């Protein structure tokens, strides 16, 4: 299965010219479809478009395929296999808000998606489609570099640092121009919604979260990094049995990314894999990561490993993140080394609570989610460690992936 | 700002805060310092004029202008142009 060519793309879905309509009509279709962003926050795409179209200045479209989650693969896979769908989506977004520039923000180091997007642009030029307004920009390999304000900061010529602005990027972004930062999957959906209509789109998914959803399976599954399209109401257990190759409930699942939520396997197995339903349980589907922990691995040791990496991914701007995350990491390291008492765990919870909601971006809060859900989920493991049992965060074969340099630093 | 009441709250920009701690001295009932000395606000709305005035004092006491008031739609509330008038030399 390789990258889809322009000829095959047009044969399958029709050319972009066949669906040109007015900006207002395009935005109305998006509004009617109920399409929500697939980068993690789930913001209504139509609202973003309306804000950008109404704001002063010519808007810019950013295709965010930087996918900073180490275990997530949906955006890079989409870019690799269906580059024309994303390019169509970007052109439609540009038409919807009156933008004349498109930036594709992705990792050149991911060679297959880099080759696919370069080839797709060459095919378009050969077919006489204008691509002079599309720029490819290599994203820094940092966890927070894909956060909207960090993207805007980087493309504006500064570091990829999250900022806390009074106005959203869709209103005031790169060079004070309205900047629509859309996740790559969102734009792929847009390309299909514009072709087949809002009703077609909401035939799958749920009324509250219409459309299909891409998820990535990681950890102890048949194919780590496998991307699955979820069409309708289905439990996590069914997905893991069906495509994950699991025949029994796992120990636990980390849902939504490394700053997501640990859920015990028993609970997760019967939980519907659906953004809106999970939200009502206080769980974010985030970037759609479903990472499976087998019962041979200590969840607290795995948490310690992720935590130590995440603490180092702070952009270094906010004190509560710079000083707070290493402290949380140290507490969890002590737990898995069997050096902690109950009072240390209580202090860990207090410190974690004091970091929640702080800082210019969601990074510290996300780390707190990981820590608190780990303490809630791995209670038996915690008790064993309180009695002095020692775990090593660095052994075991089914670790969740981290970027290679982080592994080498250890 | 036109109204002196309504849904207004203090926010702290963690990326600006350097932990001087003056705000917590001026307004200890709403602003505290965390374990590392950085300002942490309670996020509750400010409902009366007295609290609002104290909040304004805390905000203008910050040497790095890390604090701000936000209005009902998360828009920064102007303090009668005070932000704009602060001389550059006072910004660390």
- For residue A99, is it within any domain? yes
Residues on chain B bordering chain A, Cβ-to-Cβ distance under 8 angstroms: 13-15, 17-19, 34-38, 40, 43, 68, 70, 74-76
Give the residue numbers spanning the domain of B39. 9-90
Contact yes or no for A78/A8 (Cβ under 8 A): no
Instruction: For residues B78 and A16, give the distance between their C-alpha atoms in angstroms, rounded to a whole number.
Output: 46
Give the residue numbers spanning the domain of A218. 213-293
Residue-level pLDDT at B1: 38
Residues A133 and A22 in one domain: yes
- For residue B19, is it within any domain? yes
Residue-level pLDDT at A40: 83
Give, in order, the Cα–Cα distances in Å from A325 to each of A331, A355, A370, B59.
Answer: 10, 8, 12, 27
Where is the domain boundary, A293, A315, A350?
A: A293
Residues A66 and A175 in one domain: yes
pLDDT along chain A (410 residues), means of 10: 87 80 89 90 90 92 93 94 95 93 93 94 92 93 91 92 83 90 95 91 87 93 92 91 89 94 94 88 91 91 93 92 95 93 94 90 93 95 91 67 60
Query: Which candidate, A54, A1, A50, places its Cα nearest to that of A27?
Result: A50
Give, in order, the Cα–Cα distances in Å from A206 to each of A210, A227, A236, A275, A324.
Answer: 5, 20, 16, 9, 39
Residue-level pLDDT at A396: 55
Count interface pairs A-B at CB distance under 8 A.
53
The answer for residues whose C-beta is within 8 angstroms of residue A153's C-beta and 6 or more apart is: A159, A160, A161, A162, A163
Residue-level pLDDT at A410: 39
* Mean pLDDT value across residues B24-51: 89
Residues A272 and A308 in one domain: no
Where is the domain boundary, A232, A260, A293?
A: A293
Q: What is the pTM of this model?
A: 0.87
HSE-up of residue B64 (Cα within 13 Å, Cβ side):
14
- Annotate A74-118 with DSSP letters as a single string: HHHHHHHH-HHHHHHHHHHHHHHHT--EEEEEE-TTSHHHHHHHH
Long-range CB contacts for residues B38-44, cutoff 8 Å, separation at least 24? B38/A318, B38/A319, B38/A320, B38/A358, B38/B14, B39/B12, B39/B66, B39/B67, B40/A320, B40/A354, B40/A358, B40/B12, B41/B9, B41/B10, B41/B11, B41/B12, B41/B67, B43/A357, B43/B9, B43/B11, B44/B9
Neighbours of A262 (CB within 10 A): 27
Where is the domain boundary, A176, A201, A226?
A: A201
Q: Tell me, what's the ipTM?
A: 0.73
- For residue A1, is it within any domain? no
CA A222, A227, A231, A234 dihedral sign is positive
> In angstroms, what separates the C-alpha of B51 from chain A's closest C-alpha?
22
Question: Over 90: is that where the pLDDT of B6 sits?
Answer: no
Residues A252 and A382 in one domain: no
- For residue B4, is it within any domain? no
Closest-approach residue (CA) in chain A for B18: A319
Closest partner residue to A324 (CB to CB) among B13, B17, B36 is: B36
- For residue A206, is it within any domain? no
Residues A48 and A113 in one domain: yes
- For residue A64, is it within any domain? yes
Domain count, chain A: 3
CATH number at residue A174: 3.40.50.11540
- For residue B1, is it within any domain? no
Domain count, chain B: 1
Name the β-bridge partners of A262: A254
* Mean pLDDT value across residues B53-66: 92
CATH number at residue A246: 3.10.20.600
- For residue B61, is it within any domain? yes
Tokens representing residue A127 in the block: 């077919």
CATH number at residue A386: 1.20.1440.230
Residues A128 and A195 in one domain: yes
- For residue B2, is it within any domain? no
- For residue B3, is it within any domain? no
Residue-level pLDDT at B74: 47
- For residue A248, is it within any domain? yes
Closest partner residue to A358 (CB to CB) among B37, B40, B75 is: B40
- For residue B23, is it within any domain? yes
Contact yes or no for A278/A284 (Cβ under 8 A): yes
Residues A63 and A169 in one domain: yes
Instruction: For residues A51 and A68, give the distance between their C-alpha atoms in angstroms, rounded to a whole number.
Output: 26
């Amino acid at each position: 299965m390789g990258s889809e060519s322009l000829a095959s793309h047009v044969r399958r879905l029709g050319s972009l010219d066949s669906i040109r309509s007015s900006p207002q009509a395009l935005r109305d279709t998006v509004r009617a479809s109920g399409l929500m962003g697939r980068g993690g926050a789930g913001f209504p795409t139509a609202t973003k478009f309306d804000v950008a179209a109404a704001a002063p200045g010519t808007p810019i479209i950013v295709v965010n395929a930087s996918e900073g989650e180490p275990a997530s693969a949906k955006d890079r896979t989409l870019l690799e296999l269906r580059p024309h769908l994303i390019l169509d989506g970007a052109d439609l977004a540009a038409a919807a808000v009156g933008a004349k520039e498109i930036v594709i923000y992705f990792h050149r180091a991911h060679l297959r998606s880099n080759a696919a997007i370069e080839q797709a642009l060459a095919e378009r030029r050969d077919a006489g489609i204008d691509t002079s307004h599309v720029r490819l920009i290599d994203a820094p390999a940092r966890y927070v570099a894909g956060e909207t304000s960090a993207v805007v900061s980087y493309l504006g010529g500064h570091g990829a640092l999250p900022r806390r602005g009074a106005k959203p990027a869709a209103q005031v972004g790169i060079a004070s121009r309205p900047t629509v930062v859309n996740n790559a999957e969102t734009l792929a959906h847009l390309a299909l919604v514009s072709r087949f209509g809002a009703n077609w789109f909401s035939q799958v998914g749920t009324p509250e979260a219409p459309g299909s959803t891409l998820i990535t399976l990681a950890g102890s599954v048949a194919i780590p990094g496998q991307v699955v399209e979820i069409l309708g109401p289905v439990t996590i257990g069914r997905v893991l049995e069906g495509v994950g190759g699991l025949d029994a409930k796992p120990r636990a699942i980390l849902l939504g990314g490394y700053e997501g939520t640990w859920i015990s396997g028993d609970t997760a197995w019967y939980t519907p894999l659906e953004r809106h339903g999970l939200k009502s349980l206080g769980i974010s589907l985030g970037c759609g990561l479903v990472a499976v922990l087998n019962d041979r691995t200590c969840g607290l040791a795995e948490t310690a490993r992720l935590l130590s990496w995440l603490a180092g991914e702070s952009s270094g701007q906010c004190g509560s993140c710079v000083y707070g995350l290493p402290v949380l990491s140290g507490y969890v390291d002590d737990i898995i080394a069997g050096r902690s008492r109950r009072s240390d765990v209580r202090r860990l919870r207090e410190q974690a609570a004091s970091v929640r909601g702080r800082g210019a971006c969601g990074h510290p809060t996300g780390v707190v989610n990981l820590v608190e859900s780990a303490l809630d989920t791995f209670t038996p493991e915690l008790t064993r460690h309180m009695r002095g049992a020692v775990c090593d965060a660095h052994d075991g074969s089914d670790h969740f992936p981290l970027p290679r340099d982080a592994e080498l630093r250890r | 700002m036109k109204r002196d009441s309504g849904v207004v709250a203090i926010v702290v920009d963690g990326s600006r805060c350097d932990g001087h701690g003056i705000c917590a001295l001026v307004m200890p009932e709403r602003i505290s310092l965390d374990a590392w000395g950085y300002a942490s606000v309670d996020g509750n709305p400010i409902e009366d004029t007295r609290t609002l005035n104290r909040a304004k004092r805390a905000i203008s006491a910050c040497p790095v202008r890390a604090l701000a008031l936000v209005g009902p739609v998360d828009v920064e509330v102007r303090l009668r142009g005070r932000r704009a008038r602060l001389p550059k030399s006072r910004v660390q």
